[in-house]
Amino acid sequence: MQELYDLAFARLDRVSVKRQEFAECWAKYISVHPWDIDVRNVDACTLEILAVMREPAPVELALIFSEWLAALRASLDNAIYALASAITGQNPPPQAERIQYPVCSTTAEFSRQAKRLAMLPMHIIEALEKSQPYQSPWGPESNLTWWVNELARKDRHRVLHVGLGRVDEHRIRIAPPSGVTIKFDEAVEPYSHIELELVVGRFTASRPLRPREITADLTGVAIAPEIQAWAGYRLDGRRQSLHDRMVYTEIFTRNHLENMALMGECLPPGGFRTFDLADPEGGAQQAE
C-alpha cells in the first residue's frame, strides 16, 4: 500500500507551499501600512499610544490559511486510511467510510473514536492513543494537533478564520517638549493582537500634555500576522509566533504520518525525518 502513503505525504508536502503563500499575502497587505498611530489623553498628564487598524486583512489570507488547515487534517485521515489498508491488505479496507484519524481531548472521547477503527489491531490503537492531545502534560490545548482539528472543524463548518496583526517587537520612542519628563507604564502588555485598536504604550508626564505636543516614533514596533482564533495559544505559558506554530505543526503532523508509515511497514517519501529508526523508542514519538 506504498502508493496510498505516498499520496498522504504528497498532501502534507503542499502545506509548506500554502505557508509561503500566506507569508506573501501578508507581506502584500502590510506594504500599504494598514495601521495608523494615535495618541490620546487618559487624563491631563497621562497619554496612551495606540495602533489603530484602518484596513482589515484581506479575505485571501483567511482562504489560504483554510487551505493550509484542510491539507494538514486530510493528510492525517489519508495516512490512517493507508495504515488500515496496509494492515488488512485491502483497498478499500473494511468499513472504509468510518475511518478517520482520532484527535481527542479525553479518554472517553478516544474510546468512542476508537470504535471507528475496529479493523486495526489493539497494539496500533494503543499507539494512536499515546499521541492524543489529552496525553500532553499541559493539557489538550497545548497540543498543536488538537488545534489543527479544532481550527479545521470550525473553518469547515462555521466560518473562515480572521487574519489580523500582532505586535511582535516593541520599541517606542517619545520626544516630549523641552523640560518635560515622562515615565512609561510597565503594566501595559504590548505583545498582543490588534482587532480594531491596541494600546502599545502608556506614559505619565511631569505636567499636563496634549497629544500634539509630543512626537511618537513607532518604527521599532513590528507587527506580525496572527489568526484570531489561535491568538491565545500558549505552550507551557510561553507564546509563539504564528510562523513558528505553523512550522512546528507541520513537523508534528509529519511525525504522526511517519509513525503510521512505520506501523504499516512502509517508507515515507524522503525517509524518516522526525525520528531515528536506530532508536528503539524512535517509532513512539509524541507530538505536542
Calpha distance 282→262 (Å, rounded): 10
pLDDT in tens, 220-255: 888 999 999 998 887 777 788 999 999 999 999 999
Averaged pLDDT score across all residues of the chain = 92
pLDDT at 99 over 90: yes
pTM, 2 dp: 0.89
Domain residue ranges of the chain, discontinuous segments joined by +: 2-284
Calpha distance 124→183 (Å, rounded): 60
Calpha distance 232→193 (Å, rounded): 9
Backbone phi, then psi, for 223, in 5-degree steps?
A: -115, 120
| 276-281 long-range Cβ contacts below 8 angstroms, 24+ apart | none
**CA atoms 114, 119, 123, 127: torsion sign:** negative
Residue type present at position 11? R
Calpha distance 102→133 (Å, rounded): 10
Calpha distance 204→216 (Å, rounded): 14
Calpha distance 73→153 (Å, rounded): 9
